Structure 1
C-alpha cells in the first residue's frame, strides 16, 4: 500500500456544448476527517454523494471542495438573453405608448441588464452528471498529489531515522564502557575510604551492584532496537501510518530520555540530544501523513 500525505491539491474539469464545470479539492492535515463545500445550491442534491466518495478514498484530512461553472467557450453573452422576457417588456411598453399617445424609444442596450438574462443555474441531469465527472477527476488528481507528497515525506522520515540510529549505535558502543568506568570509580573510592574508615566490603559491593543496575541502559537499548524494527515494518507496510508513527516516536522519546537521565557520560548525553532532535523532526513529518 502507498503512503499518503494529508496535504495535496486536485483539479478536474468537464464540459459540454453549454457548460464548463471545474472542481478543486484542497486537503491539509487533520486528526479526523473534515469537509467543507463551496458551490452553488444547484449542486446541493449531490453533496452527500460527493462526501461519501471522499470518505471512500481518504481516511484523514481536512478537505475544501469547490464546484464552479461557466458558459463553455464559443458561447456569446447574447445566447443567455431571455427572449420571452424581452418580448414581454416590449409588449408592455407598446401598450403604454398606445394608451398615453406618447412615443417611446427602446435601446437594445436595455436588454443587456441582468434582468433579461436566463436563469444561469441549470440543475438538469446532464449538468449534474458533468459536475460529478469534474469532481471525480479532481479526486483522482488529489490522490496522486497526496501520494507524491507522501513519498517525499517518507524519504525525509527515513533520513531522520537513519541519523537517529547513528547516534543510537554510538550509545550502544559506549554503554559497556560507561558501566565499567562507573564501577572502576566506585572501587577506587572504596580503596580510598577503606584505608581511613572501617567499611563493610560485602555491603559496599552490594551497593555498587545496586547502583550499577540503576545506571544500566541496556534495557532501554533493547527496547529502542525493538521500536526501530517496528518502525521499519510500519513504513514498509504503507497505508494509514500517521498515528502509528506518532505513538512510536513517543515510545522512542521515553527510552531516549531515560538513557539521558541515567548516564552522566558527556558522550552519551550529546548523542541523546541529537537523537531527540531527530525524533522531533520525524514527529513533525508524521503529523502530515494519513
Structure 2
C-alpha cells in the first residue's frame, strides 16, 4: 500500500443546464456546481462542511463518503452553485410571483411593519427555483467522489515525497551509528593508557621501567569500568532496530502515522542516551547530528496519515 500524507487539495466543477420548475419560463440560465476539499494534518479525522442551503441535506451522505475514504486529517469540503451566464437574469414566472405575493400578504397581515420583497430578492428566489434542487442533489455525490479521488491521489504523491525523505534520513542515521561503534574501543584503550601514564608519574618511575603487577591490574580494572560507562553498543542496537521497523512500515504503507510517531520518540531517546554516555567530543557530535535528523523526521511524520 502507498504512504499517504494528510495534506492535500482537490477541486472540480460540473456544468449543466438548469431544470426549470415552470414550463413557461423564458430564461433558463445554466449553472455550475463546484466542490473543493482542503486537508491538513490532525491527530484524528476532523470534518467540516461549507454547503449552500440548497445542498445542506446532503451533508450526511458527504460525511459518509469522506469517512470511508480518509482516516486522519482536518478536512474541509466546500460546495458552491454559480450561474455561468452572468449576462442573463432569470425571469420570474407568473405562478412564482403569485405565490410570493400571497406569502408576502400573509406575512404582512401578521407583521405590518415587515419589509416588502425587493426586486433582487425576487430574482434570487426565481433563480433558486429554476436551478432545480433535485438535479443538484443527483450531481453532488458523483462530483464529490471525483474530488475525493483526486484528493487521495494528491495525498499519495505527497506521501511518496515524505517517504523518500524519511528513507534518506534513515540512511544518514545508519551512517552515524556506524561511525559511533568503532569509537568506543578506541576511547577505552586511550583511557587505559592514560591511567598507566598517570600511575607512572605518581610512582616516579623512569621510562621503560616495569610497573608493578598491581598497577597493571588497576589499569585494567579502571579501563573496564570506563568501558562499561561509555558502552553504547546497546543503544546502537536498539536504534538500528527502530530504523529497521520504520523502513518496514514505510514499505508496507497504509495507516502508519501514529506508529511512526512513536518510533521517532524512541529514536530520540536512544540518541539522548548516546549523548549522555559520550566520553569524547566526537561521540557528542554524532549524538547532536542524530537528534537533528530525528527532529527533521518528526516534523514530516506529523503529516503522514
Q: Structure 2 length as normaliser, TM-score?
A: 0.78
Residue 169 of structure 1: aligned partner:
178
Using the TM superposition, give the Cα deviation of residue 119 of structure 1 relative to its aligned residue in structure 2, in angstroms.
5.5
Distance across 2 between alignment mates of 1:76 and 1:112:
17
> Would you say the 8 A contact 1:179–1:212 is kept in 2?
yes
Residue 294 of structure 2: aligned partner:
279
Report which stretch shifted further, 150-159 or 117-126.
117-126
Equivalent residue pairs, number: 269
Structure 1 SS opposite 2:126: coil
Using the TM superposition, give the Cα deviation of residue 75 of structure 1 relative to its aligned residue in structure 2, in angstroms.
8.1
Residue 208 of structure 2: aligned partner:
none
Please point out which of 126, 129, 140 is paired with 1:118: 126
> Would you say the 8 A contact 2:12–2:35 is kept in 1?
yes
Residue 264 of structure 2: aligned partner:
249
Residue 83 of structure 1: aligned partner:
94
Tell me, yes or no, if structure 1 residue 237 matches structure 2 residue 264: no
Using the TM superposition, give the Cα deviation of residue 80 of structure 1 relative to its aligned residue in structure 2, in angstroms.
4.5
Tell me, yes or no, if structure 1 residue 53 matches structure 2 residue 65: yes
Shift in alpha-carbon separation, 1:80–1:58, aligned structure 2, 3 A: farther
Shift in alpha-carbon separation, 1:248–1:89, aligned structure 2, 3 A: closer
Kindly provide the CA deviation profile for residues 23-69 of structure 1, in whole angstroms up to 9, marking residues without a partner as x: 11000000111011111233222212211211111110001111111
Distance across 2 between alignment mates of 1:88 and 1:36:
36
Distance across 2 between alignment mates of 1:136 and 1:145:
14
Residue 156 of structure 2: aligned partner:
147
Structure 2 SS opposite 1:114: helix
Shift in alpha-carbon separation, 1:88–1:281, aligned structure 2, 3 A: closer
Using the TM superposition, give the Cα deviation of residue 264 of structure 1 relative to its aligned residue in structure 2, in angstroms.
2.0
Kindly provide the CA deviation profile for residues 97-120 of structure 1, in whole angstroms up to 9, marking residues without a partner as x: xxxxxxxxxxxxxx9533244151
Distance across 1 between alignment mates of 2:7 and 2:99:
53
Distance across 1 between alignment mates of 2:96 and 2:233:
87
> Would you say the 8 A contact 1:246–1:283 is kept in 2?
yes
Please point out which of 135, 140, 145 is paired with 1:136: 145
Runs of 5+ unmatched residues, structure 2: 19-30, 102-117, 206-211
Report which stretch shifted further, 2-11 or 252-261.
252-261
Tell me, yes or no, if structure 1 residue 268 matches structure 2 residue 251: no
Shift in alpha-carbon separation, 1:222–1:191, aligned structure 2, 3 A: farther
> Would you say the 8 A contact 2:46–2:74 is kept in 1?
yes
Q: Structure 1 length as normaliser, TM-score?
A: 0.82
Kindly provide the CA deviation profile for residues 186-232 of structure 1, in whole angstroms up to 9, marking residues without a partner as x: 34334444569x99655775454233212111111111111111121
Residue 96 of structure 1: aligned partner:
none
Residue 81 of structure 2: aligned partner:
69
Using the TM superposition, give the Cα deviation of residue 11 of structure 1 relative to its aligned residue in structure 2, in angstroms.
0.9
RMSD over aligned Cα atoms: 2.8
